[in-house]
Structure 1
């Protein structure tokens, strides 16, 4: 009998996810390939491991026993490998990262060249999606999340609180004027994000005052944030975006900050930006190295935060367009 490690890992993944399709997507394989490998494993072991039907895949009693054994073996193997790398002091191997699309484009991908120059034996698999990801089911080594963390079931390294900002191009403000209060936004063309939850209410608050609640509107809605940012850069209107997305555009004066005295939010609490990683007794040297690398490169406070008084980043009518 010869059972290879890859077959064991795929079988454990099928038990955790409950179907071949999710495992296939994660492993960049076809569902038929996953099914074939599991069938070969059953043939090697001489036992049926799974009940298969159109609705779900369920482990047989023998399959559950093998699943427990495989998990223990793979866990011990992984821990041994991690300790060996740690003793050798050289991060290496594959680190799987999951991140929101735009955050990955702006704050992960630009640093990878420097990461590899420092640790050339590291390999990165970067999966970018704006869907909610379960850090336990996805099996990522490191997951960047922007949002609530209470249900994550994983360790979290907090990076920042995501802060919403209102901004427009100097050209737009020169033509249409500067909104001085939240209510005056009703007289402007707002470029609005419309995701799966539809249009969201926006809360504008200042210390000692009752928050004003509004639903922004204008000539453009989109489920793609970068589309709205590009439209704003063209002078089309006003956007509301997180600081980590438009901070650099404000620093370079391509966009100007609006309503600097107000806190803007669509949630009761600003969403957290965090790095999640699984509970484990020994965090691998490679994953720890990647976490520390990005924490260092993001900076404290993070480099996307606007320094000084926010009013410095507003546009004045006497400034050049």
Structure 2
């Protein structure tokens, strides 16, 4: 493995916090990733990492070296992007992230046809309903539902994604159907929550403007698909994007509640770090995805 490839391993190990995670991100075994770090340490005659059985941290010289190594790799990536833009043949890896349900239903199906048209591109898709640090995790393109808070990132809106309150006919037969937002308080509301999650309430669109509802439920999860399944299993009321439950509503497995005061729509779009805006392969995938995804809304 070349010196530059060893630098990539070191950078990803620092960013992801472990040799195993850094190696996995680059499709290397922990043993190979560890050897790459040792090669760098032997090359310079210094220790770059402090290793214990529970924790890996950079030494003082390791932290300083990381800053320079990150700049070297960013410069190399920009140079490769420039050459690729002239050749017209995109090359390299695109790292994508998206919420679980959205990623499974809408993003994952886009990858095979894009890669068939661009055989020089590899795509790594990471799905999570938790917040992802796009810069630290070296994400090229993040698909996002909601209001982006980081002004350091470029936001490209794709569509408004309507949301609906849903429950199964069996749940409603047993517990009654709420006819006003205030009646949600007496129901088991299924919530998407995780550490530092912002969703501790629902916001409904009432006639006089947004109405915040402090709803509660007996259980919550950090996986949106689990919420949908709990609703299908008659466990309570869920607040889900319409695209996710459209077939369930059409087939009668779920019923839409309070259609006159629905949850406010979420913005659906993609975020890109500014330093990667000129990468043609990222721009090509973003253009392709936006064009195809608009058809789903």
Into which bin does the TM-score normalised by the smaller protein fall? 0.7 to 0.9
Residue in 1 that maps onto 2:101: 102
Shift of the 88–136 alpha-carbon distance from structure 1 to 2, 3 Å rule, reads: same
Structure 1 residue 153 displacement after superposition:
3.0
What aligned pairs does 1:1-321 form with structure 2 within 5 A after superposition? 3-14=2-13, 16=15, 20=19, 22-29=21-28, 33-43=32-42, 45-48=43-46, 50=48, 52=50, 54=52, 56-60=57-61, 64=64, 68=68, 70-151=69-150, 153-170=152-169, 178-185=177-184, 190-193=188-191, 195-196=193-194, 200-208=200-208, 211=211, 213-217=213-217, 221-235=220-234, 237-251=236-250, 253-264=252-263, 272-280=267-275, 283-299=278-294, 303-304=296-297
* Normalised TM-score (structure 1): 0.74
Moved more, 166-175 or 2-11: 166-175
**CA deviation digits over 1:197-227, x for unaligned, max 9?**
5983334441227836342446x65554323
Distance 1:294 1:82 in 2: 19
Q: Which has the larger radius of gyration?
A: 1
Count of equivalent residues: 292
Structure 1 residue 170 displacement after superposition:
4.9
**CA deviation digits over 1:223-257, x for unaligned, max 9?**
54323323433555432223342244335554332
User: Would the aligned equivalents of 1:15 and 1:58 in 2 still touch at CA under 8 Å?
Assistant: no
* Normalised TM-score (structure 2): 0.79
Structure 1 residue 40 displacement after superposition:
0.8
**CA deviation digits over 1:82-112, x for unaligned, max 9?**
2222222223332111222211111111222
Structure 1 residue 127 displacement after superposition:
1.3
Structure 1 residue 59 displacement after superposition:
4.0
Structure 1 residue 284 displacement after superposition:
1.7
Shift of the 233–213 alpha-carbon distance from structure 1 to 2, 3 Å rule, reads: closer
Structure 1 residue 154 displacement after superposition:
2.3
Instruction: Describe the SS at the equivalent of 1:140.
Output: coil
Instruction: Describe the SS at the equivalent of 2:296.
Output: coil
